[in-house]
Copies of this chain bind each other. A is one copy, B any other.
Amino acid sequence: MINPVFLRTFMNLVKTNHFTHTAEELSMTQPGVSQHIKKLEIQLGTTLLNRYGKKFELTTAGESLFQYGLKQFKAESDLLNTIASDDVNIGHCTLACSGSMAMQLYPKLLNLQKERSGLTVSVEAAPNTTIIELIKKNQSDFGIVTQQVNDPSLIQEPLGEDALCLVMPAQSEPTWEVLLELGFINHPDGHHYATQLLEKNFSGEFKGMDQLPQTGYINQLSQILLPVSMGLGFTVIPKSSLDVFPYPDRIRNAVLASLVNERVFLITKKHRALPSRYQLIRELLRSEWH
């Protein structure tokens, strides 16, 4: 590691081209300057100055060190600026949520970015379990999940509810026999969603997801309704995902006797103070479900 005090001396020496003047500017003694340079040279294993008489030129290594020093100084002042300012409108925000949630939220987050040019938002689409991991590893600060989590290191704030929808090809009837025949188009949270909805509405017949043939799997919710619209199977997704499908008349949102609402939670890490800019995102999320 390069001693920053030595480096500062070196940088000043390059600037002034003069040992004594450097010593004066840095309020130290001239032998100190010589010593600093010498120690840098010993550490780096090369000469930094090409001495001739009482003058000198930088060697190639000296030139490199000088460039490094310039970079250094800049990086440090950047750091201090960053730490000093916790502006609501500046910085990067990270959010992890399901794919459908991402499709729903991303345009609104982009609007926020447009209004506040210093703000950047990245959205990571992932299944519930991954979202929780991302939060715990600090790779994302905000997470939106549809499952209650019971982890003492996380904070959970209910945002609202989202109805689960049984989605079938346009002409199909929502009977147990038809479902068995169609088969299930799975997705990362597919079993979790389907189990809840089918248990309530087909309590006599439904024993578990293993009963149903899986006729497809896709981990992008934006595309999951495609195989359904083509008659290849049914699936269960939240209403918010359904709303963004571009061809609503090619599918059927089956009306069932019992509605199942999936609760939506905002999760954050306990003991992790988030920058104030996250307040904006939190408000946006709350208003989304109001």
Q: Which A residues are closer than 8 A to B by beta carbons?
A: 1-5, 8, 44-46, 50, 52, 55-61, 63-65, 68, 71-72, 75-76, 78-80, 82-83, 86, 138, 269-275
Contacts and interface: CB of A to CB of B under 8 A. Distances in A.
A140 B269 CA distance: 54
A65 B50 contact: no
Contacts of A4: 1-4
Contacts of A64: 79, 82-83
Nearest to A278: B60
A209 to B, nearest CB: 38
A79 B83 contact: no
Contacts of A272: 50, 57-58
A89 to B, nearest CB: 15
Contacts of A46: 83
A5 to B, nearest CB: 7
B55 A273 contact: no
A273 B269 CA distance: 56
Given A60-B275, A138-B58, A272-B50, A75 B83 contact: no
B83 A274 contact: no
B79 A65 contact: yes
A140 to B, nearest CB: 13
A75 B76 contact: no
Contacts of A270: 52
Closest 10 CB pairs of A and B: A1-B4, A57-B272, A52-B271, A68-B79, A61-B83, A64-B82, A60-B275, A57-B271, A50-B271, A64-B83
Given A44-B83, A71-B75, A75-B71, A274 B60 contact: yes
Nearest to A269: B57
A81 to B, nearest CB: 10
Contact of A68 (B55, B65, B68, B75): B75
Nearest to A69: B79
Contacts of A75: 68, 71-72, 75
B60 A273 contact: yes
Contacts of A86: 60
Contacts of A273: 50, 57, 59-60
A8 B56 CA distance: 34
